[in-house]
Structure 1
Amino acid sequence: MTKINSKTKPLACASLLLAALTLPLSASAEGQLRIAQQFGIVYLLLNIAQVQKLIEKHGKAEGLDIHVDYQQLSGGAAVNEALLSGSVDIAGGGIGPLFTLWDRTRDRQNVRAVVATGQFPYYLISTNPKVKSIADFTDKDRIAVPAVGVSVQSRFLQQASAELWGDKAYNRLDKLQVALPHPDATAAIISNGTEISAHFSNSPFQEQALAANPNAHIVLNSYTVAGGANTPVVLYTTEKFRQENPRTYRAFVNAIAEAAEFTAQHPQEAADAFIRVNNSKIDRKLLLQILQSPEVKFTVTPNNTLSLGQFLYRVGAIKHNPESVKDYFFDDPHVASGS
């Protein structure tokens, strides 16, 4: 089942999100798992699990025949709405949307992350030759992001803005942002035929754009904003689902952990899985270069995520200050050494 929201509107999604916070979540019996993912290599572990039926495999070890439904959405707001409305059981999204939902569901649905999907750099790309840094953006520029103000790309841009102009101006560049799925934004950057002049992207879209358009160049690397390699994407769920479906939950965690090990050891097969699930036309050589990049690491253990949450608290974007990774991740051996 594939659902793509190509025009996520921040105000509408914010209203739906607030409404969803007051709705009861539908019960989900053991052996049923609905997963929402988005676009990019950051979701490769789910692709591996899908192709190799790893969740089903680990379900059998738990005495379950698990039926898995993979859904594809665009933008953290749409994913969060799906989780809160009970449309999905596991949400795949940026660490930024997770902090938003963790903060808003405290003492209610108690949403927390389950595992990470790896460490990946995100590039802010521009086709405007005058834009060398974020300080060079003007009102004529339009920056594509999955969801304005709340996606992890938008949050990274806010963090970089605060470093440059101060905390009070952290959302200075929000007005230039346009909500657009990565495939559409990449096509706009490559064609140079729309109002989109910049795209805060992820792999493989950022590498495809850089390879296809000689005017495309990197303005900002998320690793620079984060102060080093970090986890931009996590898989998260509600406390209710975890408590009521312990065997399905364990099967899911063990499956994703196995997918991470497999991907790290077998990049060729992992590349094939990505192409198959996403029906991707990407150059396979380019894809393998990304998977084997020293900047990329496939692991379910979160790395360097806390600073973004503490930044969001400092500027008032969230009301609760995360003090450690244990605040916004469920307790699990795979997460114990995370940061």
Structure 2
Amino acid sequence: MRQPRHPSRRAFAAIAASVIGVLMTSAIAAPAAAEGRIRIAEGYGLSFLPLHVLRQDKLIEKHGKALGLDITVDWVQLSGGAAMNDALLSGGIDVGSSGVAPLLTIWDRTRGSANVKAIASLNDMPLFLTTSNPKVKTLRDFTDADKIALPAAKVGVQARVLQMAAEKEFGPGKYDAIDKLTVSMPHPDATAALLSGGGGITGHISSAPFQYQQLDDPKIHKVISSYDVLGGPHSFNLIWSKQSFRDDNPKTYRAFLDALKEAMDLINRDHEAAADIYLAQNKGSLDKAYVLRLLNDPDIRFTVTPNRTEAFADFMHKVGAIKNKPASWRDYFFEDLHAGAGS
């Protein structure tokens, strides 16, 4: 009986080369691990001061080195939560930051898939609806001749605050009574339009420093504050990412969170240094005394702890903006903060 032939050395080499080729092709096709790189998007205004501190003092890089990792940090500036969420889901960024409402929207839509959750809060801040129309004293006084600017009409945190205020003013179910008056516009552009009277903009719901700059003009007055609408101070901006980014990049994620906490400590400990950093990162007409005035305002607080975010979640579920009603804030935050207080 003829014995089975063993492959020749040449055949063996060919087989080995083929296997190696397959493995190399698979390696090239597989997505590379992103550990050591983070792409962060921020918006406009004082509410993003913690991120300015991260960038100015290279705190993420510092905490990465403490973990034995060199981290490359890329920054981009976007206006509004919708743009943040689009960039995150398309893979353009790793971390997005905006208001509570956009986070709840993307958390709801990605449950069981990308599983986007909040990493931390960035601040507690009031949002003012201001107007140049002297006839407007309450929401009822706006007419079809008015236009109210905000970063993301109908979906952003300013839009949700306006809807919550409208339901209080006009009655149950009438939360969208003045949605038709809103237009999407970045805060710097909306502030310029409101102050100049351009583009038909007669109202703007914004944040610091824009709302305070507007109120320094005698022809502008405040109609509502979000603190009155929600019954007290609340989180304004949060910062969030996909579950996969957290899982695949544990050191980068840890470095980011530790850096964020250090940035908060610096802001709360040293307003002078924080003001200098804000001005270095935001070239504009504000002077240091003005920024310090805002940082010394007791209504403005920088903290990683969520505050009254559940009020937004309850409202958005009630009006059908999110399908899933969270049991508590811990449902839409990663567990790093779960041991602390929050709401």
Same fold (TM over 0.5): yes
Given that residues 56 and 65 in structure 1 are in contact (C-alpha distance below 8 angstroms), is that contact kept between their aligned partners in structure 2?
Answer: yes
Contact 2:215-2:221 within 8 A present in 1 as well: yes
* Aligned with residue 255 of structure 1, among 242, 256, 259: 259
Q: 1:273 to 1:60 in 2, by over 3 A?
A: same
Work out the CA distance in 2 between the residues paired with 1:334 and 1:301: 10
Quote the residue 1:130 is aligned against. 135
Question: CA shift at 1:269, angstroms?
Answer: 1.0
The one-character-per-residue Cα deviations of 1:2-30 (angstroms, maximum 9, x if unpaired) are xxxxxxxxxxxxxxxxxxxxxxxx76510
Query: Match of 1:14?
Result: none
2:283 aligns to what?
A: 279
- Letter of the aligned partner of 2:220 in structure 1? A
Quick one: which amino acid aligns to residue 251 of structure 2?
Answer: R
Q: CA offsets per residue over residues 125-167 of structure 1, 9 Å max, x none?
A: 0000111111211111100000111110001001111222234
Q: Does 1:301 align with 2:328?
A: no
**What is the CA-CA distance between 1:322 and the residue it aligns to?**
1.6
Per-residue CA deviation, residues 158-193 of structure 1 (Å, 9 max, x unaligned), is: 111122223422112111011100000111111123
Count residues with an aligned counterpart.
313
CA contact (8 A) 1:28 1:241 kept: no
Matched, 1:246 2:223: no
1:169 match: 174
Report the CA distance between 1:237 and its aligned residue.
0.4
Task: Letter of the 1:80 partner, please give it.
Answer: N
The structural deviation recorded for 1:284 is 2.0
Q: 2:76 aligns with which of 62, 67, 71?
A: 71
Letter in 1 for 2:254: R
From 277, 301, 316, the counterpart of 1:312: 316
Q: What amino acid maps onto 1:176 in structure 2?
A: L
Mapping 1:92-111, distance limit 5 Å: 92-111=97-116
Letter in 2 for 1:114: I
Percent identity of paired positions between Structure 1 and Structure 2: 48
Distance 1:217 1:154 in 2: 19
Query: Which of the residues 7, 32, 53 maps onto 1:48?
Result: 53
Give the conservation status (yes or no) of the 8 Å contact 1:182–1:201.
yes
Q: Secondary structure at the match of 2:200?
A: coil
CA contact (8 A) 2:120 2:337 kept: no
What TM-score do you get using the length of structure 1 for normalisation?
A: 0.90
The secondary structure found in structure 2 opposite 1:169 is: coil
Residues in 1 aligned to 2:72 and 2:95: alpha-carbon distance in whole angstroms: 13
Conserved 8 A contact 2:246-2:253: yes
Alignment of 1:177-216 (within 5 A): 177-211=182-216, 213-216=217-220
Corresponding residue for residue 18 of structure 2: none
User: Cα deviations across residues 199-218 of structure 1 (Å, max 9, x unaligned)?
Assistant: 0010001111111x211011
Query: In angstroms, what is the RMSD of aligned CA positions?
Result: 1.2
Structure 1 stretches of 4+ moved >3 Å = none
Contact 1:109 1:239 in 2 (8 A): yes
The equivalent of 1:10 in structure 2 is none
**Does the aligned pair in 2 maintain the 1:120–1:297 contact within 8 Å?**
yes
**Other-structure match for 2:221:** 217
Determine the structure 1 residue equivalent to 2:26: none
| One-letter amino acid of the structure 1 residue matched with residue 75 of structure 2 | Y
Question: Structure 1 unaligned runs (5+)?
Answer: 1-25
Question: What is the match of residue 334 of structure 2?
Answer: 330
Contact 1:301–1:334 (Cα < 8 Å) also in 2:
no
Q: CA deviation at 1:242?
A: 0.6
Structure 1 CA distance for aligned equivalents of residues 33 and 169 of structure 2: 46
CA contact (8 A) 2:164 2:315 kept: yes
Instruction: Determine whether 1:230 maps to 2:234.
Output: yes
Is the counterpart of residue 289 in structure 1 residue 296 in structure 2?
A: no
Alpha-carbon displacement from aligned partner over 1:243-278 (angstroms, at most 9, x marks no partner): 111110000000010000100111111111111112
Q: 1 CA distance for matches of 2:239 and 2:55?
A: 15
* Deviation for aligned residue 1:231: 0.3
Counterpart of 1:168 in 2: which secondary structure?
coil
Q: Where does the alignment leave 5 or more consecutive residues of structure 2 unmatched?
A: 1-30
* Matched residue SS, 2:199: coil
2:96 pairs with one of 86, 91, 100: 91
TM-score normalised to structure 2 length: 0.89
For residues 270 and 277 of structure 1, the distance between their equivalents in structure 2, rounded to whole angstroms, comes to 11
